[in-house]
């Protein structure tokens, strides 16, 4: 940490930002004088589940019923899923997923920033760390979700679809990722930030940690004051969200 601050001074840089630290690394950064920031994402944790149904058994009855209804709705549409990784990934899969990616990007503000070649390159260089979940009706792919796996975690990153099917987004991005994690003994699914809809599907609010060194003393003081208040607000928000989670209470 001290080396990072020294590099900022040597390079004449304005700041240094270290994101997605562990709690232990974040504490050490604070001791070293870095400004500390927290935020929150939604993560699903594998508590040693043998099946998706066992996971459902820990939810309240209303939430359990809702998840089963959503999954059945997609299944009744005749949609099946392929989990593709390693040598199973072909250029034809990337061609189709790029269609999904572009469709999603073009319907949001801004524009897609990843090129078609990007997907070929990650397929060539890190195929064993990729989990591409593709939804198909018969032999025709209609949606997909790009995930990366490592360190016992599956990380959801991009999703897209060229056909609207109710609950297909939830199934492709969230439920299939849970199924994959259970089947492969992974400890966690990280679904990223935003979206209270994730909470109702077993993805609980989890703090994330970052550390920041700002060279300008005045700006540093102002940011430090803001971060102090923000940390308290984030902790309160996480607590409020957790209380609205789908898991059964002891008395149920």
pLDDT, residue 6, reads 87
- Name 249's bridge partners: none
Q: Tell me the whole-structure pTM to 2 decimals.
A: 0.90
Report pLDDT digits (tens) over 6-52.
888 889 999 999 999 999 999 999 999 999 999 999 999 999 999 99
Averaged pLDDT for residues 115-140 = 97
pLDDT, residue 231, reads 98
Radius of gyration of the chain (CA): 21
The domain ranges of the chain are 2-41+205-243, 47-186
pLDDT, residue 84, reads 98
Distance CA 197, CA 170 (A): 9
Report pLDDT digits (tens) over 210-228.
999 999 999 999 999 999 9
Question: Strand runs (DSSP E) across the chain, as ranges?
Answer: 15-21, 35-45, 79-84, 130-137, 140-150, 153-161, 188-190, 204-214
Q: For domain 47-186, give the CATH superfamily.
A: Gcn5-related N-acetyltransferase (GNAT) (3.40.630.30)
Distance CA 133, CA 173 (A): 8
pLDDT, residue 219, reads 97
Count of Cβ atoms closer than 10 Å to residue 145 Cβ: 25
- pLDDT at residue 107 greater than cutoff 90: no
Q: How confident is the model at residue 193 (pLDDT cuts 50, 70, 90)?
A: confident
């Amino acid at each position: 940490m001290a080396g990072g601050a020294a590099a900022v001074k040597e390079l004449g840089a304005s700041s240094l930002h270290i994101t997605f630290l562990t709690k232990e690394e974040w504490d050490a950064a604070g001791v070293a004088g870095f400004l500390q920031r927290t935020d929150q994402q939604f993560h699903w944790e594998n508590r040693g589940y043998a099946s998706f149904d066992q996971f459902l058994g820990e939810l309240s009855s209303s939430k359990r019923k809702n998840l089963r209804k959503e999954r059945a709705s997609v299944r009744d549409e005749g949609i099946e899923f392929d989990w593709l990784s390693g040598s199973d990934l072909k250029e034809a899969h990337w061609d189709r997923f790029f269609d999904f990616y572009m469709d999603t990007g073009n319907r949001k503000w801004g524009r897609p920033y990843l090129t078609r070649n990007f997907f070929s390159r990650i397929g060539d260089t890190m195929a064993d760390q990729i989990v591409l979940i593709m939804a198909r009706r018969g032999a025709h792919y209609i949606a997909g979700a790009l995930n990366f796996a490592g360190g016992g975690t599956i990380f959801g990153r991009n999703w897209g679809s060229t056909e609207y099917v109710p609950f297909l987004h939830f199934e492709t991005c969230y439920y299939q990722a849970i199924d994959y994690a259970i089947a492969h003994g992974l400890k966690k699914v990280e679904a990223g930030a935003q979206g209270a809809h994730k909470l109702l599907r077993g993805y609980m609010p989890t703090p994330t940690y970052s550390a920041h060194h700002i060279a300008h003393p005045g700006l540093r003081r102002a940011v430090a004051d803001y971060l102090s208040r923000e940390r308290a607000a984030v902790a309160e928000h996480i607590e409020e969200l957790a209380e609205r989670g789908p898991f059964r209470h002891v008395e149920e």
